[in-house]
């Protein structure tokens, strides 16, 4: 904890000048201000609840801050998918013709399906959409709707994205579109590039995790969740209980659990302390944060099994469809990777770790004719990479202004360095300069317990097979549209929000009336008031204490993962015990496992266990 958050070391009973200056009037003023802020704080949460309900009633439309038109709605395709392609038509009251340079390549922004709705890439004027439009690029945005179509698969989504790229390419002949993939949309864009060789231009991956097993011990605990939860079966159960839909609120809850001291405490403490200035910003962000979208059962299982647990994409084992497996070596268009050390959801390890997994060394990358450029930010958070307001807009402008230079680079790996003597994030070239420093692929390789994650994959396969055989039919039989809707509205991520609306809590009308009255004559205390300073110190102390508890929790999870999966003897004995409990004895024998085929036919098969080059046993 920083020194300024502690007492300043005065002897017992000694009073500081600030303490001596305090008076009864100061205390009375603080009490008045505290009570007023309390009313305004709860009224802000009431408004958030109403915004959430209003957004639901409107059908959860995408929260884009730009006028747009729909070009393609994939719900009307022969194989329907809940995606659509938009064209941004206006920015800052300027229409398409006023701000688009026809000589520049189009930009397609794809937002992630990670629980929230689309819009974070075009959430603010300074977002990726706004930056690209101001630089003169035609901008297209890929959105998705709250409800997946019945039985849509990840392969269906990838085929639809290819159709979108083809449509944009036809509109701009000779100028392959630039693909922007945010977070989990990054792997979709990467797979798309591997499948659309020659059709697309540079690919920009912003905070995109392609190497899911990579990470730093004690710093990136999310990668351990698949093992600690026993694999993909829990996601399957959740989707079954949701009547074939997986509620994105569970994914958002996982994000909040990463750093509860920030999301559960500090976010609200900051709102309370600065309610006069923070209310509008808080409500704007929460409107997007609390819009939870669904994925189909088939999609979430494909994502969890192939990416989170299977780590298939960097190994070239991700099957897009029958007879088509994604090979990242097929990508020939330049790849730009933007990562941040302040991002605890997609750390640089996961954003860059796939490169040495795909290319053995720098020479191998050169021989493949590929150019990969990466740049890092020392502190910006995960969402800041996409919003790009204040903290990252210089990086996004630098990427857009350097696309031609990147395509002209000789094959190899480069780190993009930005020199900005003015410090102005809104400046343009030549006020800042860019250089591309050659790097070695080998230097990006990081050590992590790969054998342990292979065991996680093996356990997940067995657990998923058992669940699919003995539990899933019952869960699906018991689930109805009524029970699924009930579970949706009883989810704690929703109840903690909408129950503060006067529609559910009539007494909140009194809070609204009080807040309206107080706002008219509100005279907030100065930010340097001694009691306000003490309040902030107390907030900091609580944040620090919660951070320590979270670090202890994460350390315990690391230890549990290490005990369960990094001990080969213990792992083998547990797996043998699982086989004996099943009763057929196959799980206990070294040469075979009894599993359910995870394809549509769901036929029970006994499949010989294969061996990887490292000697790790794997199952189909």
What would the pLDDT profile of 593-607 be if each residue is shown by its tens digit?
Answer: 333 333 333 333 333
Band of residue 220 on the pLDDT scale cut at 50, 70, 90: confident
The pLDDT mean for the chain works out to 84
At 69, the pLDDT band (50, 70, 90 cuts) reads very high
Cα angle: 467, vertex 306, 443; to 5 degrees = 140
Lowest mean pLDDT among 1-5, 91-95, 456-460, 479-483: 1-5
pLDDT at 250: 96
- pLDDT tops 50 at residue 521: yes
pLDDT over 60 (residue 433)? yes
What digits encode the pLDDT tens for the residues 116-172? 888 776 666 667 787 888 888 999 999 999 999 988 998 899 999 999 999 999 999
Q: Is 250 left (phi over 0), alpha (psi -120 to 50) or beta?
A: alpha
> What mean pLDDT do residues 415-423 have?
88
- pLDDT at residue number 618: 33
Out of 215-224, 407-416, 521-530, 597-606, the most confident range is: 407-416
φ and ψ at residue 95, rounded to 5 degrees: -85, 180
376 compared with 20, residue with greater pLDDT: 376
Share of the chain above pLDDT 90, in %: 56
Contacts of 149 (CB under 8 A, 6+ apart): 75, 80, 81, 82, 296
Q: For 164-210, what is each residue's pLDDT tens digit?
A: 999 999 999 999 999 999 888 888 888 888 876 667 889 999 989 88
Q: Helix (H, G, I), strand (E, B), or coil: what is residue 388?
A: coil
Q: What average pLDDT does this structure show over 543-570?
A: 90
- DSSP conformation class of 583: S
Asked if residue 15 has pLDDT above 90, the reply is no
**How high is the pLDDT of residue 578?**
59
pLDDT surpassing 80 at residue 348: yes
pLDDT of residue 601: 36
The percentage of residues in the chain with a pLDDT greater than 70, rounded to a whole number, is: 85
pLDDT of residue 109 exceeding 70: yes
| pTM for this model (two decimals) | 0.85
Can you spell out the DSSP letters for 222-233?
GGGHHHHTTSTH
Pairing assessment for the beta strands 203-206 and 617-618 based on DSSP bridges: unpaired
431/520 Cα distance (integer angstroms)? 46
What is the token pair recorded at 504?
A: 């559910």
**For 362-376, what is the HEC assignment?**
HHHHHHCCCEEEEEE
Considering only 91-95, 139-143, 274-278, 532-536, which range has the smallest mean pLDDT? 91-95
- The answer to whether the CB of 394 falls within 8 A of the CB of 425 is yes
Two tokens, residue 483: 């029970």
Contact between 616 and 451 (Cβ < 8 Å): yes
CA distance 229 to 459: 10
pLDDT digits (tens, 9 = 90+) for 251-263: 999 999 999 999 9
Q: Which of 480, 328, 355 is nearest to 414 (CA)?
A: 355
pLDDT confidence bin for 506, thresholds 50/70/90 = very high
Whether 456 has a pLDDT exceeding 60, the answer reads yes
Give all domains of the chain, ordered by start, each with its CATH number: 27-58+237-308+450-568 (no CATH), 67-231+313-448 (3.40.50.1820)
pLDDT at 126: 65
Cα(501)–Cα(345) distance, integer angstroms: 31
Confidence bin at 344 (pLDDT 50/70/90): confident
Question: Residue 62 in 3-state DSSP?
Answer: coil
Confidence of residue 4 (pLDDT cuts 50, 70, 90): very low
Query: Between 594 and 488, where is the model more confident?
Result: 488
**How many other C-beta atoms are found inside a 10 Å radius of the C-beta of residue 526?**
9
Between 319 and 359, the more confident residue is 359
* The pLDDT of residue 459: 93
Q: Looking at the predicted structure, is the pLDDT value of residue 608 above 60?
A: no
Query: Would you call 305 exposed, middle or buried from its count of C-beta atoms within 10 A (0-12, 13-18, 19+)?
Result: buried
């Amino acid at each position: 904890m920083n020194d300024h958050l502690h007492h300043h070391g005065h002897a017992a009973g000694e009073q500081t000048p600030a303490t001596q200056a305090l008076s009864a009037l100061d205390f009375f003023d603080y009490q008045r201000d505290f009570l007023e802020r309390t009313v305004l704080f709860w009224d802000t949460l009431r408004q958030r609840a109403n915004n959430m309900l209003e957004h639901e009633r409107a059908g959860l439309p995408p929260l884009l801050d730009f006028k747009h038109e729909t070009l393609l709605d994939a719900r009307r395709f022969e194989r329907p998918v809940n995606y659509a392609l938009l064209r941004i038509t206006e920015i800052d009251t300027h229409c398409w013709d006023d701000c688009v340079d026809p000589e520049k390549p189009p930009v397609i922004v794809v937002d992630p399906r990670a629980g929230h709705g689309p819009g974070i890439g075009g959430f603010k004027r300074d977002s990726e959409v706004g930056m690209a439009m101001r630089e003169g690029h035609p901008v297209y945005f890929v959105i998705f709707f709250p409800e997946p179509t019945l039985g849509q698969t990840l392969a269906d989504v990838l085929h639809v994205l290819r159709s979108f790229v083809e449509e944009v390419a036809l509109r701009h002949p000779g100028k392959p579109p630039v693909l922007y993939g945010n977070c989990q949309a990054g792997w979709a864009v990467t797979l798309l590039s591997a499948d659309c060789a020659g059709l697309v231009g540079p690919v920009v991956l912003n905070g995109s995790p392609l190497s899911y097993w990579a990470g730093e011990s004690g710093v990136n605990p999310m990668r351990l969740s698949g093992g600690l939860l026993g694999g993909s079966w829990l996601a399957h159960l959740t989707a079954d209980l949701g009547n074939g839909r997986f509620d994105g609120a569970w994914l958002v809850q996982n994000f909040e659990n990463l750093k509860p001291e920030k999301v559960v405490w500090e976010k609200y403490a900051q709102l309370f302390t600065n309610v006069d200035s923070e209310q509008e910003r808080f409500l704007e962000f929460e409107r997007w944060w609390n819009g939870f979208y669904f994925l189909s059962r088939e999609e979430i299982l494909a994502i969890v099994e192939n990416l989170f647990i299977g780590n298939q994409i960097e190994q070239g084992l991700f099957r897009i469809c029958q007879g088509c497996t994604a090979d990242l070596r097929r990508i020939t268009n330049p790849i730009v990777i933007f990562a941040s050390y302040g991002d605890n959801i997609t750390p640089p390890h996961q954003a860059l770790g796939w490169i040495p997994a795909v290319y053995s060394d720098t020479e191998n990358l050169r021989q493949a004719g590929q150019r990969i450029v990466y740049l890092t930010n020392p502190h910006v958070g995960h969402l800041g990479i996409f919003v790009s307001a204040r903290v990252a807009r210089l990086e996004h402008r630098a990427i857009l202004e350097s696309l031609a230079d990147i395509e002209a680079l000789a094959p190899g790996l480069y780190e993009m360095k930005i020199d900005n003597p003015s410090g102005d994030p809104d400046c343009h070239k030549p006020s800042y300069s860019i250089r591309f420093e050659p790097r070695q692929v080998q230097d990006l390789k990081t050590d992590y317990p790969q054998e342990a994650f292979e065991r996680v994959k093996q356990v997940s396969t067995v657990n998923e097979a058992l669940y699919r055989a003995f539990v899933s039919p019952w869960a699906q039989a018991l689930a109805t549209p009524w029970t699924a809707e009930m579970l949706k509205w009883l989810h704690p991520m929703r109840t903690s929000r909408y129950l503060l609306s006067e529609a559910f809590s009539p007494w909140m009308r009194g809070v609204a009336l009080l807040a309206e009255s107080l706002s008219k004559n509100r005279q907030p205390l100065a930010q340097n008031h001694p009691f306000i300073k003490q309040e902030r110190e107390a907030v900091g102390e609580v944040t620090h204490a919660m951070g320590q508890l979270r670090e202890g929790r994460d350390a315990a999870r690391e230890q549990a993962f290490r005990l369960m999966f990094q001990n080969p003897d213990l792992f083998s004995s547990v797996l043998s015990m699982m086989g004996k409990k099943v009763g057929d004895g196959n799980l206990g024998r070294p040469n075979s496992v009894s599993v359910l085929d995870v394809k549509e036919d769901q036929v029970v098969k006994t499949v010989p266990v294969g061996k990887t080059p490292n000697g790790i046993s794997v199952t189909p």
